[in-house]
Structure 1
Amino acid sequence: MGKPPLSGIRVVEFAGIGPGPFAGMMLADHGAEVIRIDRTRPGGLSLAIDAKDPLLRSRRSVSLDLKNPDAIAAVRRIVRDADAIIEGFRPGVMERLGLGPDVLLGDNPRLVYGRMTGWGQTGPRAHEPGHDINYVALSGVLHALGRAGEKPTPPINLAGDFGGGAMFLAFGMLAALLHAQRTGEGQVVDAAMTEGSSVLMSMMWGFRAMGRWRDERGTNLLDTAAHFYDTYETSDGKYVSLGAIEPQFYAEFRRVAGLDDAKWDRQMDQGGWPALKDELTALFRTRSRDEWVALFEGHDICFAPVLGFDEARADPHNVARGAFVEAGGVSQPAPAPRYSVSDTVVPQMAGARDDAGLLRELGFGDAEIAALGH
């Protein structure tokens, strides 16, 4: 295997929560050198680094008081030699610090300036506070999530913070880095969680245009209305997932489960879905989760048990793939995806802070380091 694909790329990450660190983790997982700038609290106390947080893995950090002009000058100096930055403040904050795009791109014209916000850099809501739940609400995503007749169910913070935010930021930064390598021209990447999360719904927008998706949640093929695409409780209080959409998988499910009655023939008759779901609900409660797993194993059905954290880590398939790793005593997902030629980075948890050591590596002398309070 060769070096990770982002080896040689330096990214400066301004400390934040949620999607910004997740994007930094993704880039570091694939070989980028990510240097995190932590802001100090009043009195010079550094913000705590949690050594158990996978979002902070595989990069080092330095704490700087960004109200100190010497610290601002130091940041500009560090960014001058970087390929990209990540910041997740509200619009205008970086500009007020003297670290806005005009300044940093002026110092480094090939810089990719990654900006992570909920609402985006412009628009009527741009300066309003918010969280994942608010962003996916405005994008139309949250409205679609949940069962019929029930209130919308937030998908933790997966669709906004991480799927619609961090992953779109990382993708946009890589696209801009390719552009910068070809042209020498840097640019700003404006990643808004509202827009990223809405893009995740593109297939449903297509289904809607084709007349195959209703605007009422819990009434469609993939949102728990169909009896052949849902989760079911088993006799031991656990759950299984069924996704037998295609006719051949549905037929095999019926065969193995012993569903011979002709009423099961009308798979796509939505009028019959509620009654068939009631029957499957009762059927799945007749056996334990592991008994259903054993029954369906080796059959082309699109079926899997619903696993908890520890169960997922111990599942034989996940073990064989190395899907989870342990670093610093913390079990966590391994970097993904995998490459045929390149390595990913073996996760290293955040360690004890060595601000002075990192600053020396970045070319700062002892007097300059002392002026920064280290």
Structure 2
Amino acid sequence: MLDLTRLLPGAFCTQLLADFGAEVIKIEQPGLGDYWRWTEPKVKLQSAQFLALNRGKRSITLDLKAAEAHEAFLRLCETADVVIEGFRPGVMDRLGLGYDVLKGRNPRLVVCALTGFGQEGPLAQVAAHDLNYVGMTGLLQLANGKTASPMATGLPIGDIGGGALMATAGILAALFDVSRGGIGRFVDVSVADGLHAWTGFMTARWNVPDLKEDTAPPFDAPFNKPFYSVYATSDGRHMVTGAYERKFWVTLCEVLELPEWLDRQWVSGSEEEDLRAAIAAAFARKSFAEWTRIFSEREACVTPVLTAREAMESDHARARGTVITVNDPVEGKLHHVGNPIRFDRNAFNSLTPAPALGEDNDGLLAEIGYSVDEIAMMRVNKTI
């Protein structure tokens, strides 16, 4: 698999595939490489985030504007199964590496273009990042309702959920088709399209006659109800209540000592606000640790809001093998979140550290037929 992408969406996609056993070869710009390598915070020499999402990959530097590197890339394509790129639409064609050229060298090749807004449409050439996509697809408004200034989520939902995961699914579907005797495919993945798929669950309600968007809550029930919310504890931490089903609501009322609300779970208007205030007052009477202990013994779908570190170091995460250890000869011992998918046999996690820039230049070029002298000349010409 040849990875021409930079930054998060492509890296997350190809990391999943590398963990599944794909040989992922990063094609990087000589001298600079994937500029995510150099972003802060760094462990020692390279970005902590780059190291986390480039495990088990190989790296070759190629100046794709140079004829020598251009031909080297085409040779790599001859034995590759997948190419993924994240350039704006038209860039690969201008480089002389468009889909028609690539499939001419390898008809079974799957080429995935992972972009912000897709290959066509009025926004196809618009530059944007995760927060832009989240804002332009309605997700930010849905998540915040009618607040004066919608708040960002703090997580790259667009890059990962709208881009990386959709690209992974598209690539695997295309490879499955090829495995059944089909030819290669061009896979057009748009982060914005992926986010529209996320919001489709909520916007489906607009098919209801006479339902006006401006009068509807940001989320359909139960997602905006007091029993499905977040509450502060006495020490400033928070608990989540997801007591949607009747049996969980009954338990919640018992634990919080709110018997008067037992048969009024679905109230609205001023009563709804009264219920929310009553639950908030109840949670404010005890500490985070106390509520966590109490609800660990009662089944009510009430759980603590953990920090990311607490979650990664939890007993459950340890039992699931969520965190893996990679020994990097330069950066030291690194702890990363591993592949989230479990199978009945064979662990799918690459424990090889992320490659240095151009670490595999000589080996990969030799594999596709370049001599030592030819490789040396490419280095002199700065095409690698």
**Structure 2 counterpart SS, 1:197:** helix
- 155-164 or 110-119, which moves further after superposition? 155-164
Q: Describe how 1:103-252 pairs up with structure 2 within 5 A.
A: 103-210=101-208, 216=216, 218=218, 220-221=220-221, 223=223, 225-252=224-251
Shift of 1:219: 5.7
**Structure 1 counterpart SS, 2:180:** helix
**Structure 2 counterpart SS, 1:154:** coil
* 1:337 equivalent in structure 2: 341
Taking a change above 3 Å as real, the CA distance of residues 324 and 103 of structure 1, as seen in their structure-2 partners, is same
Q: Counterpart of 2:3 in structure 1: which amino acid? A: E
User: Is residue 51–residue 350 contact of structure 1 (8 Å, CA) maintained in 2?
Assistant: no
- CA RMSD in angstroms comes to 2.2
Q: Distance in 1 between matches of 2:145 and 2:290?
A: 27
**Structure 2 counterpart SS, 1:37:** strand
Shift of 1:205: 2.7
Q: Counterpart of 2:14 in structure 1: which amino acid? A: G
Q: Distance in 1 between matches of 2:217 and 2:71?
A: 52
* 2:73 equivalent in structure 1: 75
* 1:365 equivalent in structure 2: 371
* 2:16 equivalent in structure 1: 26
Residue deviations 1:260-282 (CA, integer Å, cap 9, x gap): 11x34221223232221122222
Name structure 1 gaps, 5 residues minimum.
Answer: 1-10
Q: Distance in 1 between matches of 2:191 and 2:9?
A: 9
Residue deviations 1:87-122 (CA, integer Å, cap 9, x gap): 001111111111110110111111110110111010
User: Is residue 13–residue 87 contact of structure 1 (8 Å, CA) maintained in 2?
Assistant: yes
User: Is residue 19–residue 165 contact of structure 1 (8 Å, CA) maintained in 2?
Assistant: yes
* 1:4 equivalent in structure 2: none
Shift of 1:163: 0.2
Residue deviations 1:166-219 (CA, integer Å, cap 9, x gap): 100110010011111113311111000111111112321334435799555546
Q: Counterpart of 2:353 in structure 1: which amino acid? A: M
User: Is residue 148–residue 219 contact of structure 1 (8 Å, CA) maintained in 2?
Assistant: no
User: Is residue 235–residue 288 contact of structure 2 (8 Å, CA) maintained in 1?
Assistant: yes
Taking a change above 3 Å as real, the CA distance of residues 148 and 274 of structure 1, as seen in their structure-2 partners, is farther
1:255 aligns with 2:254: yes
Which of 16, 29, 33 pairs up with 1:39?
A: 29
**Structure 1 counterpart SS, 2:166:** helix
Q: Counterpart of 1:195 in structure 2: which amino acid? A: D
Taking a change above 3 Å as real, the CA distance of residues 361 and 236 of structure 1, as seen in their structure-2 partners, is farther
User: Is residue 204–residue 213 contact of structure 1 (8 Å, CA) maintained in 2?
Assistant: no
Name structure 2 gaps, 5 residues minimum.
Answer: 38-45, 328-332
Q: Distance in 2 between matches of 1:222 and 1:132?
A: 28
Percent of aligned positions with the same letter in both sequences?
A: 36
The TM-score, its normalising length taken from structure 1, stands at: 0.89
- 186-195 or 279-288, which moves further after superposition? 279-288
Taking a change above 3 Å as real, the CA distance of residues 46 and 155 of structure 1, as seen in their structure-2 partners, is closer
1:350 aligns with 2:340: no
Q: Distance in 1 between matches of 2:175 and 2:212?
A: 37
* 1:7 equivalent in structure 2: none
Shift of 1:316: 0.9
Taking a change above 3 Å as real, the CA distance of residues 293 and 47 of structure 1, as seen in their structure-2 partners, is closer
* 2:3 equivalent in structure 1: 13
**Structure 2 counterpart SS, 1:56:** coil
Q: Counterpart of 2:228 in structure 1: which amino acid? A: Y
Residue deviations 1:15-72 (CA, integer Å, cap 9, x gap): 311111111111111111111101124xxx5556436321212211111112211001
Shift of 1:324: 1.7
Taking a change above 3 Å as real, the CA distance of residues 249 and 207 of structure 1, as seen in their structure-2 partners, is farther
Q: Distance in 1 between matches of 2:320 and 2:208?
A: 38
Q: Counterpart of 1:371 in structure 2: which amino acid? A: M
Taking a change above 3 Å as real, the CA distance of residues 155 and 222 of structure 1, as seen in their structure-2 partners, is farther
* 1:282 equivalent in structure 2: 281
Taking a change above 3 Å as real, the CA distance of residues 275 and 100 of structure 1, as seen in their structure-2 partners, is same
The TM-score, its normalising length taken from structure 2, stands at: 0.87
Shift of 1:147: 5.0
**Structure 1 counterpart SS, 2:339:** coil
Q: Distance in 2 between matches of 1:348 and 1:130?
A: 32
